[in-house]
């Protein structure tokens, strides 16, 4: 099954590179590249559990991505902000970034760093491309990334739960807790 994950990320990386080359030419190219990257991450987050016949992973991935989408689109309504290109007032936060980082965090949390690190690189590309396309500002994509990371890390559980990283927060601070079983 590891070879399937590696092959899928090779295809994902190739798609990002092909679209990134064309993206340098225009805002439309960057916009298209960010959409391709986001769709590829969502496809990976939902596709790997399907290939592995992991029903729990599929439900968790869907819930994580769905939560990120709902939260980001809700925030767009609550905090209307002009996009840099002034096309509409749905600039904050970046839903593309929220969904991409949610998928990446789900892949990391469910399948480990070997899958999660490349997924986060693609998610970072998606966020950067949204800024380059003049669809968002940096604070928009950072807020979207935070929404996505939190939904991915809070909703998704590891397949093997021998080691678990859990974000936490209270009124006095926050952090990440590491727990392991022997």
91, 140 in Cβ contact below 8 A? yes
- Residue 158 — pLDDT band, cuts 50, 70, 90? confident
Characterize 18-54 residue by residue with b for buried, 16 or more Cβ atoms within 10 angstroms of its Cβ, and e for exposed. ebbeebeeeeebbbbbbbbbbbbbbebbbebbeebeb
- CA-nearest of 80, 115, 100 to 149 is 100
**pLDDT for the residue 90:** 85
Q: Residue 123 sits in which domain range? A: 2-180
pLDDT in tens, 48-98: 998 888 888 899 999 999 999 999 999 999 998 888 888 888 878 999 999
Token pair listed for 76 = 């767009």
Number of domain units in the chain:
1
We report the CATH number of the domain holding residue 138 as 1.20.144
Q: Is the bond into 93 cis (omega within 30 degrees of 0)?
A: yes
pTM beyond 0.85: the answer is: no
pLDDT in tens, 97-150: 999 999 999 999 988 888 889 999 999 999 999 999 888 899 999 999 999 999
């Amino acid at each position: 099954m590891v070879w399937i994950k590696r092959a899928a990320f090779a295809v994902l990386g190739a798609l990002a590179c092909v679209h990134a080359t064309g993206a340098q030419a225009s805002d439309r190219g960057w916009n298209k590249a960010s959409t391709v990257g986001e769709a590829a991450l969502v496809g990976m987050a939902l596709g790997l559990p399907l290939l592995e016949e992991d029903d729990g992973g599929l439900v968790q991935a869907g819930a994580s991505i769905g939560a990120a989408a709902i939260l980001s689109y809700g925030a767009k309504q609550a905090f209307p902000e002009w996009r840099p290109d002034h096309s509409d007032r749905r600039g904050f936060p970046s839903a593309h970034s929220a969904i991409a980082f949610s998928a990446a965090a789900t892949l990391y949390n469910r399948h480990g760093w070997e899958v999660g690190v490349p997924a986060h690189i693609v998610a970072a590309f998606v966020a950067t491309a949204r800024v380059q396309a003049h669809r968002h500002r940096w604070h928009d994509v950072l807020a979207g990334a935070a929404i996505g990371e939190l939904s991915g890390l809070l909703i998704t559980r590891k397949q093997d739960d021998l080691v678990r990283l859990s974000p936490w927060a209270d009124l006095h601070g926050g952090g990440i807790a590491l727990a392991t079983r022997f």
